[in-house]
Amino acid sequence: MSTTTAKNAKNARYGMVIDLDRCNGCGACMVACAVENNVPPAQAKATARTGITWMRVENVANGASFPEHRTAFIPIMCQQCGEETPCVSVCPQQAVEVDPKTGIVDQMPQRCLGCRYCMAACPYHARYFNWWDPEWPAGMEKALNPEVAPRMRGVVEKCNFCHGRYHAAKAKAAAAGRRDIDPADYQPACVEACPTRAIVFGDLDDRSSQAAQLAKSPDAFRLLPKLGTEPKIYYLTRRPWVREIASASSPAEVRRG
Amino acid sequence: MKHSGKISFFAGFAVMLAVGWAGFPRLLYRGTPQPLSFSHKVHTGEKAGMKCEDCHVLRASGSFGGVPALESCAGCHAAPMTGTAPEKRLIDNYVTPNREIPWLIYSRQPDNVYFSHANHIRLAKLACKQCHGDHGDTDTLRPYQEDRVSGYSKDIWGSSISRISFGRGRRDGMRMDDCVSCHREHKVSDSCLACHK
Ligand code: SF4
Ligand code: SF4
């Protein structure tokens, strides 16, 4: 046992807390995510479902008319389900797994056969299918991130908390002879890009991390908690109507007015 | 005539073995010579006394330099040091026109493979030899051999087509199975994204 621990960094359970009262819907996270993860520009014929947006910002409104009208934005990506992870249980290819060392739900596009069963299983619509081979405008392929492999037509992909950045943080620690990464070295692209600092990322098992503390706030909640998927993405809001909409199980549950 | 059946069976068997073990690899791989002849031995030997990491640098960021860029060579060979023919070619064809040497990388992995030299050198404390064999002591660069079907370097599969290595003192091959078996043996991460990107 002792050698096992000595050879491994301590396990983490990475998660995010997104403050919906800070998010102003600018979409910088969506752009940063696509650039970081080599998601190509959408084809002209792509729709919201056939395009690829590992991170997407949804717009909701309280339904009242002026001057009571209010809107809110909800950034949604893979919720990194910690229990009964739906996409993992359905995949016939074992192309999805929960990494016990990081808690990150790993997607292996190279193993995926494209059946899209996981997309049907994911309660959060966080998975995207490559309907077309990736294409970058001439010259833009020079700006691809070498730490992330591009995907091909016919496979599924989704947010993996910018895994390339996790690799980089690990390698930097290793170069200094350390096994545990410096949390400051591992921050996903969306977290970095958000101008209002609405997203806080960290190890939910590390009590000193800001993410772990915010996740315990009474204003924190998760999406579709009744499914028991134990997502590692938390949302924060102090506005009751936003919380009501965001934590509803179906649109029908939301009272408008 | 009693044994002729057996004899022709074993003769045929021997021929097929020879074809499979000696002929097939020749058919499967396409060899390309390296652009320049280079002796690791001269550089790591007593006179020059260099270490692997003097040219194949591991940066503080944890990224690995791989095969050195021309400036590493030009640092010493801006002007002739030894006057040998390969050195003259290096200077005339690459250093003077400031053109990178198009080395063929024996251990190039597919695009979706992530490998950190930092983790393996600094934490696992593996010697370069363990994966790269005695490359650092060789006097010439062997031709780069590419699988005609997959396009991968022969070093990925391993030098022996049967994958039986006779006491080379290293793991033969750099396939996913080779990585995974060592990771499992040492109880370190074997999740997909540990080694894929
Ligand atoms: S949110 Fe969807 S893709 Fe992400 S872990 Fe849960 S089921 Fe899988
Ligand atoms: S689409 Fe790919 S990842 Fe999803 S269930 Fe099918 S094989 Fe698995």
Distance from CA of B7 to the nearest CA of A (A): 47
Task: State the distance from the centre of ligand 1 to the C-alpha of B126, rounded, in angstroms.
Answer: 37
CB-based contact A147 B114, cutoff 8 Å: yes
Query: Which domain, by its residues, includes A162?
Result: 9-253
Structural domain count, chain A: 1
Pocket test for ligand 1, best of A229, A230, A233, A235 (most atoms within 8 A of CB): A229
Contacts of A180 in chain B (CB under 8 A): none
> Closest ligand to A232 CA?
1
CA-based nearest residue to B117, from B136, B106, B133, B132: B132
Find which of B111, B113, B150, B193 to mutate to test the A interface (most A CBs within 10 Å of its CB).
B193
In percent, how much of chain B has pLDDT > 90? 49
Residue A107 lies in a domain: yes
Tokens of A149: 């492999």
The SS3 call for residue B32 is strand
Residue A239 lies in a domain: yes
Residue A119 lies in a domain: yes
**Average pLDDT of chain A to the nearest whole number:** 92
CB-based contact B123 A174, cutoff 8 Å: yes
Residue B13 binned pLDDT confidence (cut-offs 50, 70, 90): very high
Residue A2 lies in a domain: no
Residue closest by Cα to atom 4 of ligand 1: A78
Contacts of A163 in chain B (CB under 8 A): 193, 197
Kindly report the CA angle at A38 between B119 and A180, in degrees rounded to 5? 25
Residue A35 lies in a domain: yes
**Average pLDDT of chain B to the nearest whole number:** 88
Q: What is the pLDDT of residue A247?
A: 84
Question: Mean pLDDT, to the nearest integer, of B144-163?
Answer: 86
Q: Enumerate residues 125 to 184 of chain B having a beta carbon within 8 A of any beta carbon in chain A.
A: none
Residue B170 binned pLDDT confidence (cut-offs 50, 70, 90): low
Tokens of B6: 């057996």
CB-based contact B192 A171, cutoff 8 Å: no
- In order, the DSSP letters of B78-112 are TS-SS--HHHHHIIIIIITTT-------TTPPPTT
Tokens of A235: 């949302």
Task: State the distance from the centre of ligand 1 to the C-alpha of A91, rounded, in angstroms.
Answer: 12
Q: What is the pLDDT of residue A75?
A: 96
pTM of the entire structure? 0.88
pLDDT at B82 over 90: no
Question: Mean pLDDT, to the nearest integer, of A144-161?
Answer: 96
Residue A195 lies in a domain: yes
Residue closest by Cα to atom 2 of ligand 2: A112
What region does A204 belong to: left with phi over 0, alpha with psi -120 to 50, or beta? alpha
Query: Model confidence over A133-149: pLDDT tens digits?
Result: 999 999 998 999 999 99
Q: Name the residue among A108, A172, A177 with its Cβ closest to that of B196.
A: A108
In percent, how much of chain A has pLDDT > 90? 88
Name the residue of chain A whose CA is nearest to B120's CA: A174
Query: Model confidence over A70-120: pLDDT tens digits?
Result: 999 999 999 999 999 999 999 999 999 999 999 999 999 999 999 999 999
Residue A15 lies in a domain: yes
Query: Model confidence over A35-52: pLDDT tens digits?
Result: 999 999 999 999 988 999
Question: Measured between alpha carbons, how far is residue A158 from residues A12, A54, A55, A80 in Å?
Answer: 20, 5, 9, 10
Residue A145 lies in a domain: yes
Q: How far is CA A165 from the centre of its chain?
A: 14
A175/B90 Cα distance (integer angstroms): 32
Q: What is the pLDDT of residue A89?
A: 96
Burial readout A176-201 (b: 16 or more C-beta within 10 A, e: otherwise): eeebebebebbbbbbbbbbeeebbbb
Q: What is the pLDDT of residue B160?
A: 74
Residue B81 binned pLDDT confidence (cut-offs 50, 70, 90): confident
Question: Mean pLDDT, to the nearest integer, of B38-53?
Answer: 88
Which CATH number covers residue A181?
Answer: 3.30.70.20
